[in-house]
Structure 1
Amino acid sequence: MAVFCGASGNKFLFSKENKYVTSWWPKPVEQILRSEEGIGKSPQQNQDLRKNYLHEFLKPDALHEYIPTMDSMVKQHLQENWVPNKEVKVYPLTQQYTFALACSLFMSIKDPGQVNRISEPFKDVLTGLLSVPINFPGTTYNRAIKKGKRIREVLIGIIKQRRKELLENKETRKIDMVTRLLQTSEYSDCEICDRIVGMFVASYDTVSTVITMCLKYIADYRHVYDKVFQEQMEVLKSKQAGELLNWQDIQKMKYTWCVACEAMRLLPPARGAFRQAITDFTYQGFTIPKGWKIHWSVHSTHKNPKYFPEPEKFDPSRFEGNGPIPYSFVPFGGGPRMCPGKEFARLEMLVFIHNVVTKFKLRMVNPDEKIVYDFTPYPENGLLVQLDRIA
């Protein structure tokens, strides 16, 4: 395996996709996340499928429509889970919200019981993704494989029922991702299931991690809180009573997005990814043979003082103006390989932060709580905060 570092290494990998390298994940990861049918597919087939179904789901018009849904769901979530309490654990609650939102938008599932049937096994799946791949009863990896199968069984049942409704012209739900994929007859139930699982992994724990870390830093730094609060109150004051957020409101949240970017720089939700060489090629004097595996890490630039002076300091102003140099800030990849869900994640994060900071001032119960690294970074005890209601 060759490890690529620095902005130039990132640029090379992201710009040479399908020319020198292609996406790759270790087989143990695929065995957790994909059906047997999906494991047998080539990386190019999986990329083509991803492009086809993501285009409709993540196009600008669709993203604009999601904002009011996100806003109304956050408001309901806060009213039910935050408002009645003096203290809350931020991380598990943000996980609960992001998964419920994914279920609603991807599959039009809103029943809490049905959401829990899918969300509960995901905790073991995520824990097992990068565990030692020993498939023996009692191991983390074995639990992840079992829970992955359980999730796919539930999803396949939902997909089959939806396919039956479509064939009988009984489909009256909102046109969601499952329906769009079913309307494209070339995809099997297993292929659709694998895509939905992939979307859950990409949009669930990563987004909840970033939201949690943003709120941690907002609570930690008074001057950051003051600027975020001022920006979000200006947005709130421009709205009529009961009016939900829209695309124009999101564009006004520039400083809050800088805070989110700095949180992702210091505590990125994903630490890197893998590629595979599809031909022999040379980079900076080194020959990488066909078939070799390649890894790139966000930390080779995110924590490098060459790109970010005083890299351990939390400073959202790094992202104001022109921001960091290209390919140095890569939580979503970069160039042609930029994560297609970046804008969706941005909307989800900003809508949640807006609602929290305009309702509460947060105070850390344990300012020294450790951050633990698993598949994503997370606060060891869930980030317990005290809530002070804003009149």
Structure 2
Amino acid sequence: MIQVLTAILLFIFSYALWVVYNNYLSTTKLANLPPGSYGWPFIGESLALLRAGWDGEPERFFQERIKKHGNPLVFKTSIFGDRMAVFYGPAGNKFLFGNENKLVAAWWPTSVRKIFGKCLVTIRGDEAKWMRKMLLSYLGPDAFASHYAATMDVVTRSHIETHWRGKEEVNVYQTVRLYAFELACRLFLSLEDPNHIATLGSLFDVFLKGVIALPIDFPGTPFYCSKKAAASIRTELMTLIKERRVALEEGKASSSQDLLSHLLTSSDENGRYLTEWEIANNILLLLFAGHDTSTCSITLIMKRLGEHPNVYDKVLNEQLEISKNKEAGEMLKWEDIQKMKYTWNVVSEVMRLNPPIPGSFREALVDFEYAGYTIPKGWKLYWSATSTHKDEGNFDDVTKFDPSRFEDSGPTPYTYVPFGGGPRMCLGKEFSRLEVLVFIHNIVTNLKWDLLIPDEKIVYDQMPIPEKGLPVRLHYRQV
């Protein structure tokens, strides 16, 4: 009884402080804040944002508030315990992307910063530039133009033979997760032991559920479980890092073998190397990025191809044309990937309708003015890909699936932002592009499928996922 009364009194006291602080803001020099509401104490408007995602309409949260407050270019809210200014539409995207490290800097919620530790997404300034440059030398287009397409093709063919061929039905999301994680483990760590990959994969399943969550560090909460799983993954990674360091010193591994070797042997202009802990954190980050975003994209592409047989046929014809010009058993090359123009238009339209990363955060480095309002230093900022992509002012008939939008010059700048933009544009863009196209090439030239739940709902639990994982019935092509 005493504990209940204590909790009630704490809530009342906190609420009173919340009201006093809001009144204070309204009477200070920062009174010219954007329109909006902070919602409830502590949780703010987080539940409304999450509910819109669970309903499969994440854009609704933003569109309702823009309409309610007279269509401003920015509005204020409180999400995940932080006061935020939400920048709406292409103008907001352009402003945030163009002022990185000037007026704004990258920021992520407490849960992300605590779980990932010091890595590319949680650092800023010159250190972030160096780390990004080092990772880009492995993940950029020049690197993929060499042997990565063939390696991805080998892994993809093996995956389809093992997990698809001979099956009447599969759950696409669950099956593609195995593929994406195996591919990332192989390319980043040269890890091929299926038991080791399965162990890491089971930890990732727990880890992913609390990456973006209220940072309640109490047993049983998603954040607590995610943090523990991340610690276990790091332990595994540290063992691999130490083993690889020995192998490099003994000449049993090369500096160009994979991302792990690359990070162990690369330094900045002053001769500084990443610590083993920093390497583990960055590999954890890239395993996360390569694991979930690609899984969501591939699953939703298969959903759209199943819904639109005419689009499937066009993709198939493009891929068969590429296969026709190759020797039997010959692997895909970078030049083949460049020929998949229509297929990439399809992928782009899927990401327009359901961007794998719904949006991202920044932090105001100084007080600044935007659209006639004051944005205070220290405030968190947010831009939304989902609301930009679903705005009738940016795209005609926004809910229609139409890959032709991406022909010729494509959408107007800053209206299509699935990978973000500016200095913080998604580091794994080329990796994701190659992975998705190699998979689509192999799946359509081997299989056709029927959707077992034709109108399956897409829900956003951090990322867009078909509610039941997209179960399909398979039909095999004659090879």
TM value normalised by structure 2: 0.78
Q: Which residue of 2 aligns with 1:11?
A: 94
Q: Which residue of 2 aligns with 1:333?
A: 420
- CA–CA separation in structure 1 for the residues paired with 2:143 and 2:456: 39
Q: Which residue of 1 aligns with 2:209?
A: 127
Q: Which moved more, 1:353-362 or 1:133-142?
A: 133-142
8 Å contact kept, 1:126–1:375: no
Q: 2:236 aligned with 1:236, yes or no?
A: no
Q: Which residue of 2 aligns with 1:171?
A: 253
Q: Which residue of 1 aligns with 2:24?
A: none
Taking structure 1 as reference, are residues 153 and 13 closer, same or farther at Cα in structure 2, changes over 3 Å only?
same
What is the aligned length? 389
- CA–CA separation in structure 2 for the residues paired with 1:208 and 1:43: 28
| Identity fraction in percent | 47
- CA–CA separation in structure 1 for the residues paired with 2:349 and 2:370: 30
Q: Which residue of 2 aligns with 1:23?
A: 106
Taking structure 1 as reference, are residues 217 and 280 closer, same or farther at Cα in structure 2, changes over 3 Å only?
same
User: CA offsets, 1:198-249, max 9 Å, x none?
Assistant: 1112111001110110011001111111111111111111111101111111
Taking structure 1 as reference, are residues 363 and 339 closer, same or farther at Cα in structure 2, changes over 3 Å only?
same
* TM-superposed deviation, 1:6: 0.5
Alignment match of 1:324 (pick from 411, 420, 429)? 411
Q: Which residue of 1 aligns with 2:377?
A: 290
Q: Which residue of 1 aligns with 2:8?
A: none
Q: 2:198 aligned with 1:111, yes or no?
A: no
Taking structure 1 as reference, are residues 163 and 319 closer, same or farther at Cα in structure 2, changes over 3 Å only?
same
Q: Which residue of 1 aligns with 2:183?
A: 101
Taking structure 1 as reference, are residues 226 and 42 closer, same or farther at Cα in structure 2, changes over 3 Å only?
closer
8 Å contact kept, 2:447–2:476: yes
8 Å contact kept, 1:50–1:195: no
Q: 2:458 aligned with 1:371, yes or no?
A: yes
Q: 2:310 aligned with 1:223, yes or no?
A: yes
* TM-superposed deviation, 1:9: 0.6
User: CA offsets, 1:29-52, max 9 Å, x none?
Assistant: 221222xx6699742365234323
Query: What is the identity, as a one-letter code, of the residue corresponding to 1:115?
Result: I
- CA–CA separation in structure 2 for the residues paired with 1:215 and 1:53: 34
Query: What is the identity, as a one-letter code, of the residue corresponding to 1:390?
Result: R
* TM-superposed deviation, 1:149: 0.7
Query: What is the identity, as a one-letter code, of the residue corresponding to 1:228?
Result: V
- CA–CA separation in structure 2 for the residues paired with 1:355 and 1:72: 10
Unaligned runs of 5+ in 1: none
Taking structure 1 as reference, are residues 39 and 262 closer, same or farther at Cα in structure 2, changes over 3 Å only?
closer
Secondary structure of the 1:276 match is strand
Q: Which residue of 1 aligns with 2:340?
A: 253
- CA–CA separation in structure 2 for the residues paired with 1:367 and 1:43: 45
- CA–CA separation in structure 2 for the residues paired with 1:58 and 1:96: 21
Secondary structure of the 1:358 match is helix
* TM-superposed deviation, 1:114: 1.4
Taking structure 1 as reference, are residues 318 and 38 closer, same or farther at Cα in structure 2, changes over 3 Å only?
closer
8 Å contact kept, 1:31–1:39: no
Aligned pairs for 1:294-309 (under 5 A) are 294-309=381-396
Alignment match of 1:74 (pick from 132, 156, 164)? 156
8 Å contact kept, 1:30–1:39: no
8 Å contact kept, 1:228–1:256: yes
- CA–CA separation in structure 1 for the residues paired with 2:293 and 2:260: 22
Unaligned runs of 5+ in 2: 1-83, 267-271
TM value normalised by structure 1: 0.95
Secondary structure of the 1:105 match is helix
- CA–CA separation in structure 2 for the residues paired with 1:251 and 1:362: 26
Query: What is the identity, as a one-letter code, of the residue corresponding to 1:59?
Result: G
* TM-superposed deviation, 1:253: 0.9
- CA–CA separation in structure 2 for the residues paired with 1:59 and 1:255: 22
Q: Which residue of 2 aligns with 1:350?
A: 437
- CA–CA separation in structure 2 for the residues paired with 1:335 and 1:41: 17
Secondary structure of the 2:475 match is strand
User: CA offsets, 1:122-151, max 9 Å, x none?
Assistant: 112211122232111111111111111111
Secondary structure of the 1:71 match is helix
8 Å contact kept, 1:162–1:171: yes
Structure with the greater relative contact order (CA < 8 A, sep ≥ 6): 1 or 2? 1
Q: Which residue of 2 aligns with 1:48?
A: 129
8 Å contact kept, 2:361–2:383: yes
Note the aligned Cα RMSD (angstroms): 1.8
Larger Rg: 1 or 2? 2
8 Å contact kept, 2:120–2:132: no
User: CA offsets, 1:277-324, max 9 Å, x none?
Assistant: 112222121221221110111122100011111111111111111111
- CA–CA separation in structure 2 for the residues paired with 1:353 and 1:140: 33
Taking structure 1 as reference, are residues 39 and 78 closer, same or farther at Cα in structure 2, changes over 3 Å only?
closer
8 Å contact kept, 2:256–2:262: no
